[in-house]
Structure 1
């Protein structure tokens, strides 16, 4: 199968097009730069953030809450981070299902979508409904995935979500009953789409054998995913439970994160759920949002390659200092996995992942690598503050540990962000439903200040 449309030759036409586009780049740059002073003079909230880094208040939600500081006398005061799902501390939620020996993602999905924890009977029925909808519609894998492979699984996920519109007999039905059905279908089918898109990508772009595994009844979301992406379908219970934890921790993060907000923006226009969710997928695909754990793994590749003694704080710290001063790694000046826009003293997701990851690291013989991650977490804050010439609490964020966890689970890096999407699908659908069914909500339309100078129209014959 042809892997794109760039293999044909058009000779001089291509050369003409390339030269013209290059000239347009100069034209664009000449007329499309905005003086940064405008933003301060007009008091623009760049990135919809206030001067102190807090987000501009754009809405109200009952779904999730992220707490990393509290306000006192107009000042931000750091605090241990908390992540709240529908009023329940996620640490309490996880302790509940772990102590009872259950998988927790399905229970978390029910909580986020409907607003309350399910009874035992409700949870059993909910699991059965998700299992019923996990298989893709007849012909979908062949027509939408195999016949149009993509080198990027997130790209294929976004396209597939849009394509499901055509397989819905009433895609524009906005009744609550049908919207809930659509949401459950998307949550259930997302892992199957990702697994099939990954297998097809590996076959057509990496020249590997093609294995497509059907979802299995009786398995949790985490178990089914490991079953689907591994050639031999084998996994341990500890692996599945750790992945289940990752899914719970990534399921929701408030209405202001980029992908949830994108979903709410589109939903406020009255468009269908497939369009709104595909926009969220596209947002998460961006390296500033969902791709951070891949940058963390790239950074650790540089560290392992250049630091001989991982247990030597001096040597590890010296290399981290080189990263900060753009003398090593990708020369970005960043220690990936450190710092967060909201969390200050700690990120509860990183805290929980760290707690549960140690056991699997010991089982897999990767304890030295796990302790290297711990060293980066411990050594980075003072180095970051010194480099910036300020004191500010800096904590590890979830990406510092999630990439390492996925590595222990033998999950390829091209699936890191799709896994994020698989978990966050629940949060997106919950925000979609809240946006659509909350009385009085209006189409989201912030203001942009026009600063272009006024020019007279010039007839074509007189233009240079």
Structure 2
């Protein structure tokens, strides 16, 4: 039926009947995007999990400060420096901190890692029936399907007690890298006609090492590669309750639905280009720079090309310099700072320092160009997406996996927020929408309609 009707005409009708006068949003003081007019977020909840700090408000004005990110009160920079100083991987320790609200001691950490390792294997028949059957061209969609399918393999799927939700959370955290890796291998085989590689996860390895092992045909990786991916996972594990996917977890969980439905909804949120897909846009933009800028060390030539992008004359004509700017951070995004330091080391090892310096140059020059052309004095910094795509590219990770890897990290924060909502929520979230059609319309009999 859809193919036999005029979709272009119907689309025009839909556009006409759904457009709202932009002035109405100001007239009724609508908080579009749940943001106030000064750019601050509308306060809709409280959390003890992640603290994102990028400015202070002084006499009703935003004052920029250096960015700070805390997990359960611990500065993420201190967390990273702590486990890296001891030459350890840190993602599993970070998951423990987010879920339980405190750092594990040595015995608790080893026990938790053992539990995660024991739960990485998928249930019998899951890989064949739920992943290799009907493979998806988009791994995030396959991930969401794998999460929803997990409901069918859970004998106690609906129980929302904290003990049961914690069990479900640990299983999902353990299996996310496997869901993603097998979904990627299925796409490579069925959509790109490549050899299918299905490695079993190693229960003795952590999340970063297993992920590299599962996505690579030879299952090999270097210690530095695993350390860098581990760092990326730690930095993406949580970002407060106000980001779109964490808020989705709160909203959906408030309806008293099951864990799998709530997490699948968060996956759908993260898939969006304005959220988890932003690092792909950065990577594509940099490739455009490389193709159109002759001298990567010429500040004037790079500034000129940034101007073209801002004026909507280059790249995707959006006017956006992807990876620059953040809803909260002003002077700096601490995640970008930490990732950049490690990225420089790997770039030197892989002979990619020249490209790293191109990133650095664009990061340094963009704020002034954007401010001058847009006539704003807003403080702008590089966000974590600016360097994460470069890191994944250096690790030989295809773009198809950039956002799924984000999900592998963020499942920890999502599960922590779901538990927090169950304990403290109690009311279904239901914001208001004002109906603005004031003229009542009469129902016309079918034969009188034009």
Q: Deviations over 1:69-125 (max 9, x none)?
A: 011111111000000100000001011101111100000000001100011111001
Q: Secondary structure at the match of 1:206?
A: coil
Distance 2:103 2:419 in 1: 18
Which of 122, 138, 143 aligns to 1:152? It is 138
User: In the alignment, what sits opposite 1:16?
Assistant: 4
Call closer, same or farther: CA 1:450–1:14 in 2, change over 3 Å. Answer: closer
Residues 99-110 of structure 1: pairs in structure 2 closer than 5 A: 99-110=85-96
Q: Deviations over 1:302-340 (max 9, x none)?
A: 100111111111111111111111111111111111011
User: In the alignment, what sits opposite 1:39?
Assistant: 25
1:456 Cα deviation from its structure 2 partner: 1.9
Q: Deviations over 1:189-225 (max 9, x none)?
A: 0000000000000000001000011101211110010
* 1:318 paired to 2:304: yes
Q: Deviations over 1:403-451 (max 9, x none)?
A: 000011000000000000000000000000000112x531100000001
User: In the alignment, what sits opposite 1:221?
Assistant: 207
Q: Deviations over 1:359-405 (max 9, x none)?
A: 11100000000011000110111000011112111100111100000
User: In the alignment, what sits opposite 1:448?
Assistant: 433
* 1:410 paired to 2:396: yes
Residues 250-289 of structure 1: pairs in structure 2 closer than 5 A: 250-289=236-275
Gaps of 5+ in 1: 1-12
Which of 213, 218, 228 aligns to 1:242? It is 228
Residue 120 of structure 2 contacts residue 203 of structure 2 at CA under 8 Å; is this kept in 1?
no
User: In the alignment, what sits opposite 1:74?
Assistant: 60
Distance 2:292 2:28 in 1: 47
When the two chains are superposed, the root-mean-square deviation of aligned CA atoms in Å is 0.9
* Equivalences, count: 449
Distance 2:9 2:300 in 1: 51
1:14 Cα deviation from its structure 2 partner: 6.5
* 1:63 paired to 2:62: no
User: In the alignment, what sits opposite 1:304?
Assistant: 290
User: In the alignment, what sits opposite 1:8?
Assistant: none
Q: Secondary structure at the match of 1:67?
A: strand
Gaps of 5+ in 2: none
* 1:98 paired to 2:79: no
Q: Secondary structure at the match of 1:70?
A: strand
Distance 2:166 2:226 in 1: 27
User: In the alignment, what sits opposite 2:168?
Assistant: 182
* 1:206 paired to 2:192: yes
- Normalising by structure 1, we get a TM-score of 0.96
1:262 Cα deviation from its structure 2 partner: 0.7
* 1:231 paired to 2:254: no
Distance 1:138 1:301 in 2: 42
* 1:423 paired to 2:422: no
